């Protein structure tokens, strides 16, 4: 498990929506394998009776009244978009 081959790197890259150049493949394979090797030190301790800790202070999500608190700022927010038209975000054609 601690060594990742090219096919696995490609699979991870696709899941992460990253395109990895052929020339960088060996480097990622080496670095990720080393990181997993470091991480596998975790197996030195048995944790079957320990509950996972997701939040350091174990706080619950705070609820608030369902009220409108923000105004519509579509134009301001779209000012930093790469491509828009008539208030819509443009992407390549999805359905033929």
Partner 1 sequence: MHNHTLTELSALLRSRQISSVELTEHFLRRSEKYNANLNCYITLTADMALAQARSADAALRQGGAGPLTGIPIAHKDIFCTDGIRTSCGSRMLDNFIAPYDATVVARLQQAGMVLLGKTNMDEYAMGSSNENSYYGPVRNPWDQQRVPGGSSGGSAAAVAARLTPIATGTDTGGSIRQPAAMCGITGLKPTYGRVSRYGMIAFASSLDQGGPLARTAADAAMLLTAVAGFDPRDSTSADQAGEDYSAALTRDISGLRIGIPKQYFDANLAAEIKEIITTAVRQLERAGARVSEISLPNTHLSVPVYYVIAPAECSSNLARYDGVRFGYRCDQPQDLADLYCRSRSEGFGREVKRRIMTGTYVLSAGYYDAYYLKAQRLRRLIRDDFHTAFSNVDVIIGPTSPTTAFRLGEKVDDPISMYLNDIYTVSINLAGLPAISIPVGFVNGLPVGMQITGNYFSESRLLNVAHQYQQMTDWHKRMPAGFN
Instruction: Among 23, 47, 67, 86, indicate the residue that binds partner 1 (CB under 8 A).
Output: 47
Contact 15, 38 (CB under 8 A): no
Six-digit token pair at 14? 């696709």
Q: Measured from the CB of residue 87, what is the shortest distance to partner 1 in angstroms?
A: 13
61 binds partner 1 (CB under 8 A): yes
Identify the sign of the CA torsion 35, 36, 41, 47.
positive
Residues in touch with partner 1 (CB under 8 A): 1, 4, 9, 12-20, 28, 31-32, 34-36, 38-45, 47, 50-57, 59, 61-62, 64, 73, 76-77, 79-83, 89, 91-94
């Amino acid at each position: 498990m601690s060594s990742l081959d090219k096919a696995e790197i490609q699979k991870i890259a696709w899941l992460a929506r990253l395109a990895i150049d052929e020339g960088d493949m060996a480097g990622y394979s080496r670095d990720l394998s080393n990181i997993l090797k470091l991480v596998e030190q975790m197996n030195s301790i048995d944790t079957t009776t320990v509950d996972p800790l997701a939040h350091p202070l174990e706080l619950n999500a705070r609820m608030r009244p369902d009220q409108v608190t923000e105004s519509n700022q579509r134009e301001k927010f779209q000012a930093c978009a790469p491509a828009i038209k008539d208030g819509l975000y443009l992407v390549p054609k999805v359905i033929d």
